[in-house]
Amino acid sequence: MGFVNLFGRLRQQPPARVPTDTVVPLVELDPYYYYAVELLFRFDCVLDAHQLQQSLSQLMEIGNWRQLGGRLRRRESNSDYQFDLHVPAQFTEQRPAFIYRTFEWDGSIDDHPVATRIPRMTNSISVHSVRDDLAPLIGTADFPKTADDWIYSDYPGFFFQQINFHDATLLMTMFPHHLMDATGYGIFLDAWAAVLHGRINDIPPSRSYSNDLDPCNTLAEKVPPERYIWHRHLMSRFNSLVYTARTIWDNLAKKEDRVVCIPSWFVEQIRADALKALSTSQESAFVSESDVLVAWFSRLMLSAVNPSPSRSLMLVNAVDIRSTVLDDHQRTAYLMNLIFMSHTVLPISEVLSQPISHLASKIRAALISDRTAEQIQARIAWSKEVGRHPLIGPSDNFTCFITNWAKASLFSLDFSPAIVGERSSATPCTPSALLSYNDVQRITPSCCVVLGKDAESNWWMQWYLPKTAWKNVEKHLHPTSQSRCRKGV
């Protein structure tokens, strides 16, 4: 089957270039961004699909926001990483700025055999399987999912599917990671909501995707690569082989993603306990709620997966760099991928023997030291020498990738002006549930998406772990065990 796909793709040709398209040369695309990101929002109100589409169409006619409706094409140089956006001079029914499908279900969402399985927050920690259970709701099978799919089609990058029930709305959205990260998508959603609310003057100008205007172009020239904290920790060729072999072995187990819903009272308590524990040794101790959540579940994950305690845990945290290196980030919409990796490395034996507060403080310390302007500039300069994704740290790393979407404020998306019926538009209509469906290949033994904090201050996380580990996780998270989950904070 693979050979059939390969030779079929070799014979495939991209659509003919449209002479009136505006061509926007993109920065070299990182293969990590070649895939689509799919999200499912639940709103406990019925939304007018026409109003949502009209406001989105209006946004995509404003200045550089139009570039979001461009078609991805490989540059004529035929480089693996060089692509352009071909933006239609006019968006039409034949070449729309986005695809928007709508469906109606004649009944309550609670009566739908699939939609009723969407997680709901309770007063205790809960774990929910989502990918297989909710797959019938996701109608993107005929839509591009990777950069290679897009370049051989004339599809726009954005896809939306709305399902209205008598008492709720499901909105499935898909965006191309090659155009933006989660924070960028949050900026996009905020702008869409601003048009819907009639606040079009509040929409900031969007920075062009043109590689000539890439904000990272000048950053590499400011600080020498030798100043990067991890500069001296590049793995040797032999250690790289050892690490790769270990990672392949770790990844042999079948993975499964599940949503973990954590009520606000639990988060507040473990953070308070962590701050109290740290105050005995640190004068002005600080850890965020997400620091503590990641530390808490990472320890739980290690106990469930059970890697050798002699190995090292490496938490790789993807962090937004807009506020650190862009002076005009509050006046300009930087939608593109602007993330930087922060690394926390500790012996697994230390992580498991020390309290949660210990790992949480190490995560916070790494974030503080790694995402200074100097470190970001030095890392960009270093990448010119060693490539985009050098292997660093000990060769026995058990790697866990963390991407925190809390800053994107996806749970704050307010579509209240589009409410159908008697409900007051002054009442916010924000998501009550949020799920992620990412087809990215998981190259680390575990991965976590911190989806964010909802309107009731409850936290949502989505973890990708070996299927066999989830039984142990759920045993620890059983309601009768949750009082013990705080042990060792």
Model pLDDT, residue 487: 53
Look at residue 162 in the predicted model and tell me its pLDDT: 96
* Of the candidates 482, 452, 438, the residue with the CA atom closest to the CA atom of residue 257: 438
Q: Which of 427, 438, 432 is nearest to 411 (CA)?
A: 432
Residue 193 tokens read as: 């909501």
Give the pLDDT of residue 2: 41
> Which residues on neighbouring strands pair with residue 261, listed in sequence order?
126, 460
Angle between helices 356-370 and 264-279 (to 10 degrees): 80
Q: What is the pLDDT along the chain (489 residues), one digit of tens a residue?
A: 344 344 445 557 889 999 999 999 998 888 788 889 999 999 999 999 999 999 999 999 999 999 999 999 988 766 667 899 999 999 999 999 999 999 999 999 999 999 999 998 888 999 998 777 777 777 667 888 888 899 999 999 999 999 999 999 999 999 999 999 999 999 999 999 999 999 999 999 999 999 877 877 777 677 889 999 999 999 999 999 999 998 888 888 888 889 999 999 999 999 999 999 998 887 778 999 999 999 999 999 999 999 999 999 999 999 999 999 888 888 999 999 999 999 999 999 999 999 999 999 999 999 999 999 999 999 988 988 888 788 999 999 999 999 999 999 999 999 999 999 876 657 899 999 999 987 554 567 789 999 999 999 999 999 999 999 999 999 888 754 555 455 555
Q: Report pLDDT digits (tens) over 70-111.
A: 999 988 766 667 899 999 999 999 999 999 999 999 999 999
What's residue 34's pLDDT? 85
Domain borders along the chain are 22-115+130-210, 225-431+439-486
pLDDT of residue 4: 39
Q: Which two tokens stand for residue 411?
A: 């749970």
CA dihedral 367, 368, 372, 375 (to 10 degrees): -60
In this predicted structure, what is the pLDDT of residue 82? Answer: 85
Catalytic residues: 177, 414
Spell out the residues 6+ positions from residue 434 whose beta carbon is closer than 8 angstroms to its own: 39, 40, 41, 42, 410, 411, 451, 452, 454, 460
Q: Is there a common fold for 22-115+130-210 and 225-431+439-486?
A: yes
3-class state of residue 402 by DSSP: strand
Say if strands 126-129 and 159-164 run parallel, antiparallel, or are unpaired. Answer: unpaired
- Residues contacting 404, CB < 8 A, separation 6+: 290, 294, 317, 318, 319, 450
Under DSSP, is residue 457 helix (H, G, I), strand (E, B) or coil?
coil
449, β-bridge pairs: 403, 462
Looking at this protein, which amino acid is placed at residue 38?
E
Measured distance CA(65)–CA(273) in Å, rounded: 45
> What pLDDT shows up at residue 139?
66
Residue with tokens 């989505």: 462
Q: Which CATH class is domain 22-115+130-210?
A: alpha beta
**How is residue 276 written in tokens?**
């109290």
Tell me the pLDDT tens digit for each residue of 419-447: 998 766 578 999 999 999 875 545 677 89
Q: CB-based burial of residue 310 (10 Å sphere; 0-12 exposed, 13-18 middle, 19+ buried)?
A: exposed
> What's residue 485's pLDDT?
54
Q: How many other CB atoms sit within 10 Å of the CB of residue 423?
A: 12
The pLDDT, as a whole number, for residue 78 is 60
User: CA nearest 246: which of 391, 387, 386?
Assistant: 391
Q: Give domain 225-431+439-486's CATH superfamily.
A: Chloramphenicol acetyltransferase-like domain (3.30.559.10)
